[in-house]
Amino acid sequence: MIVLHSSVSLLLTALYLLVVAYLIKGWAALKRTKLDGAPLQTPITVLIAARNEAERIHLTIEDILDQDYPKHLTEIIIVDDHSTDDTANIIRSYADRGVKLLQLNEDKPLNSYKKKAIAEAISQSTGDLMICTDADCRMGTKWLSTVVAYYETEKPVMISSPVTYFEETSLFERLQTLEFSYLIGIGASFIGNGRASTCNGANFAYRKDVFYEVGGFKGIDDLASGDDELLLQKVAEVYPHQIGFLKNQEAVVYTHAKHTLNEFLQQRRRWASKSTRYKDKKVVALAVCIWLFNLSLLVNFALGFYNVNYMILFLVQFMLKYLIEVAFLLPITGFFKRPQLVSLLIILGPIHILYFVYVGLMGNTRRYAWKGRVVR
């Protein structure tokens, strides 16, 4: 029995090592496109869906207005999703600077208010390229021009761009930044390997005509989340080799880690809830195998208190996991100019095993709270 159990554990470990090696290859394959500085010509629409963001939305709007992209080619549309604070009034105060406010007025409950907000904004947009971000994000002045220069140079139909956390105030938030870098790296690496599967809606762009060509959010609008990854997968079915990841520091968008454990777990459960709807079932199968690998680590650790052989097996698994993840994370954190974060992996590693198993279960079996609503 011990031999069979050990064989399964080592098989799962080998699979995990191969997956991360594949990701390392994908990140390395992403070339930093040389942007030639030619005049940019694409009409763009910046889209934001906002709900109860009065505390920070003015900072996001100011950053967008400060962009060096030509103003006559830039449209900014912010959709207020039934905010109960001063969000709509703050957006409205920028009307004289070209910021357009739309307000959702749904009289029937929806499970996907954000997708409804984005679809409504797109329907009223004038740009050719939709560039999406969130209402609590910050960005440098060259963000838009870098995205558009990449779009005009490489001709992708959809662009996933980097997102990271900043302004951390605690160890808990720095651990989140490291873990989030891992997630962003996964999405980028899959694109680098020519197999787009994940992205982040805080820094996401796509052609408007392609959005309508794939039917917009039709077929995925029953889930509250998924305006980014599930849309990307719809587009990947039609344009598998025309989705790019913009590996350029000027394109980075910054946001904040969650302050409390409950907020963090609710967010990760929301993200996990999308996984069973992935178009590419091979990716789903891979995610299940990785979940089983983490479960095997937990089981072997627990059994190790009764039989030292299981503890040795756990330690071998954990050390191999740690080393391959260091190799993966060093170039990614280096890209974000935060390589020192990798030193926290020795702390994050054991915590991540527990949380990964928990979120994998809860993300697909329970409803969660998001923006003051309980959704699925």
Give tens-digit pLDDT for 165-201: 999 999 999 999 999 999 999 999 999 999 998 999 9
Q: Tens digits of per-residue pLDDT, 215-229?
A: 999 988 877 677 889
pLDDT given at position 284: 80
Question: What value does the mean pLDDT take over residues 287-308?
Answer: 94
Question: What value does the mean pLDDT take over residues 60-82?
Answer: 97
- In the chain, count of helices (H) and strands (E)? 12, 12
Pair type for strands 44-50 and 163-165: unpaired
pLDDT given at position 343: 98
Q: Is the per-residue pLDDT at 230 higher than 80? A: yes
Domain boundaries, the chain: 2-26+280-375, 33-162+203-257
Question: What value does the mean pLDDT take over residues 155-171?
Answer: 97
Percent of the chain with pLDDT over 90: 76
pLDDT given at position 373: 52
Sign of the torsion angle spanned by Cα atoms 140, 339, 319, 304: negative
pLDDT given at position 35: 76
Which distant-in-sequence residues (6+ apart) come within 8 Å of 106 by Cβ? Answer: 82, 113, 116
Mean pLDDT lowest among 52-66, 298-312, 361-375: 361-375
Q: Tens digits of per-residue pLDDT, 277-288?
A: 676 677 788 888
Q: Is the per-residue pLDDT at 28 higher than 60? A: yes
Which distant-in-sequence residues (6+ apart) come within 8 Å of 310 by Cβ? Answer: 2, 5, 300, 301, 303, 304
Question: Could you count the other beta carbons within 10 Å of the beta carbon of residue 70?
Answer: 16
For the whole model, what pTM was predicted?
0.91
Q: Is the per-residue pLDDT at 369 higher than 60? A: no
Q: Tens digits of per-residue pLDDT, 31-53?
A: 887 777 778 999 999 999 999 99
Q: Which helix (H) or strand (E) holds 375?
A: strand 373-375
pLDDT given at position 48: 97
Q: Is the per-residue pLDDT at 374 higher than 60? A: no
Q: Is the per-residue pLDDT at 133 higher than 70? A: yes
Q: Is the per-residue pLDDT at 375 higher than 60? A: no
Higher local confidence (pLDDT), 8 or 369: 8
pLDDT given at position 105: 81
Q: Tens digits of per-residue pLDDT, 103-132?
A: 988 766 566 788 999 999 999 999 999 999
Spatial separation of the C-alpha atoms in residues 305 and 96, rounded to whole Å: 67
Q: Please, which pLDDT band fits residue 267 given cuts at 50, 70 and 90? A: confident
Convert 3-39 to b/e letters by CB count within 10 Å (16 or more is b): eebbeebeebbeebbebbeebbebbeebeeeebeeee
Q: Please, which pLDDT band fits residue 270 given cuts at 50, 70 and 90? A: confident
Residue 129: strand, helix, or coil: strand
The CATH architecture of the domain made up of 33-162+203-257 is: Alpha-Beta Complex (3.90)
